[in-house]
Structure 1
């Protein structure tokens, strides 16, 4: 299996200022050896690293890790989307690096939920679109999903990877129904794919139940189909909400119970295709 969403961080290499207000277990460094050991416990053999800080220092750090570890399939890195000049300067060298597979910003941490729609950000997205570089997109609010529909429609050549299925509000029936409706609207855009990852509620200490995970997976499959979904752990962020191992073991078992081709898509085929990973 390819774990399509694995984080590592080293505060000697980048600032990770958001950790100052994060749950205590996350405030320490989380290195690659621990991350690879964690994903191996639920059948992960390769992983895609995903940015966790908005600095070019972290981009360099992640690409160094990928270059030095065969079990890493690639890295989704940071570029300052609000600065299209820097994006244009950085893209040629990054796209020449086989470890570079995508770009992400911490959209969900911006005070303005419409930040991604800014004129400079849109110019940067056009540059990614022209270069064939996927965008990982973090959505935690209904407004973020509304904006994703706008972006996907305006940039039809840009592959957008919706992280964590837009954070389904498990256990909240009315909110869950709204999320499911919005997810179907997002999935109607053919250039959007999604990660079945990070399925937990940060405000609750326990893991989501097997029934809740099954409902999320069924909703995602109905919206996207298996060939537009990929599995990811969101380690180590997921460790503070019931434990990544408990959630992933249940989720992987549910995926493996699907028809073989659907399971293959979620386990590795979609990530390989979307990120252009070596087989």
Structure 2
């Protein structure tokens, strides 16, 4: 079984610009680079990772592609293009298509002041370019409104493959359920929609969370999507706000240990390999 962490970040405060990252972000307000996490990946038995954008800039995408060139463990890069400027996005996609590890696009839609940013006509046109190119879209769904838009995108952009990051941040800390559960059930009706079992520890009690706090939400996702449409992500280094990589890996294993081996293998690598086009 090839283990793939489908959601990892790097950022460099000396060379990059990350408007969302401020001193108020706490311990993650510093540079995070490969040498820090590589031993942790090895200890967990992770073979490959998907590097995901942390800023809406070309510089961030190009830095990630350079890291991918330097480290074989980075199997794929989910970058950024200006989806709301389709002509410019088309040129950027043509340029990035030359890189074999460029595997998808994400936009920090939760940082946009308009919660409906992703369904405006210009962005729909930009997402159509992804569908034409066979590139998936990572959906950042923090507000219920963001998750509501997933069916809209599926209908307006036929053929667009999407993955909902972090299971759309369920209300774990509050032990809440709706509207998250119903909105996720609505999204799963569209076969090109997938989801990541990632970033859940930072939605729970940061000091005391365990697998059992996450279990109702992960079980709900498994019941809806099945293992073939779910993928594991460690969400390092954001995950360090509520533990460390070893704990995320260990507790994820607890959540999945009752699954048949074929299903565990899918969540821990097979689904991500198919979704992002990662070879052996």
TM-score by length of 1: 0.95
After TM superposition, give the deviation of residue 31 of structure 1 in Å.
Answer: 0.4
2:271 aligned residue: 270
Q: Secondary structure at the match of 1:111?
A: coil
CA positional deviation for 1:256:
3.5
**Any conservation in 1 of the 2:170–2:177 contact (CA below 8 Å)?**
yes
Unaligned runs of 5+ in 2: none
Aligned to 1:51: 53
Q: 1:67 to 1:201 in 2, by over 3 A?
A: closer
The answer on 1:234 being equivalent to 2:235 is yes
> Equivalents in 2 of 1:16, 1:35: separation in Å?
20
Instruction: Look up the match of 1:206.
Output: 207
Supply the distance in 1 between the matched residues of 2:270 and 2:38 (Cα, whole angstroms).
20
Which residue is 1:257 aligned to? 258
1:9-20 aligned at under 5 Å gives the runs 9-20=11-22
Q: For residue 207 of structure 1, report the CA deviation from its aligned partner.
A: 4.6
| CA deviation after TM superposition for structure 1 residue 217, in Å | 1.7
Q: How does 1:1-279 map to 2 (within 5 A)?
A: 1-173=3-175, 175-201=176-202, 204-279=205-280
CA contact (8 A) 1:78 1:105 kept: yes
SS at match of 1:93: helix
Provide the secondary structure at the position in 2 that maps to 1:49.
strand
Q: Distance in 2 between matches of 1:207 and 1:46?
A: 29
Question: Gaps (5+ residues) in structure 1?
Answer: none
Kept in 1: contact 2:80–2:105 (CA 8 A):
yes
The answer to whether the Cα contact below 8 Å between 2:124 and 2:156 also exists between their aligned partners in 1 is no
The alpha-carbon deviation at position 257 of structure 1 amounts to 3.0
Contact 1:170 1:201 in 2 (8 A): no
Q: Is the 8 A contact 1:213 1:251 kept in 2?
A: no
Deviation at 1:146, TM superposition (A): 0.5
Secondary structure of the corresponding residue to residue 19 of structure 1: coil
In structure 2, relative to structure 1, the CA distance for the partners of 1:203 and 1:164 (3 Å cut) is closer
CA contact (8 A) 2:162 2:194 kept: yes
Q: Distance in 2 between the 1:201 and 1:5 partners?
A: 14
Shift of 1:212: 1.8
Distance 1:168 1:40, change over 3 A: farther
Report the 3-state secondary structure (helix = DSSP H, G, I; strand = E; otherwise coil) of the residue aligned with 2:78.
Answer: strand
Return the alpha-carbon distance in structure 2 between the equivalents of residues 39 and 199 of structure 1.
19
- Rounded to whole Å, the distance in 2 between the matches of 1:181 and 1:209 is 24
**In the comparison of the two structures, how many residue pairs are matched?**
278
Q: Deviations over 1:30-62 (max 9, x none)?
A: 001112223333321211100001110111100
Is the CA contact 2:104–2:136 (under 8 Å) kept in the aligned structure 1? yes
Q: Distance in 1 between matches of 2:152 and 2:209?
A: 31
Distance 1:169 1:273 in 2: 29
Partners of 1:273 and 1:22 in 2: how far apart? 37
Deviates further, 216-225 or 14-23: 14-23
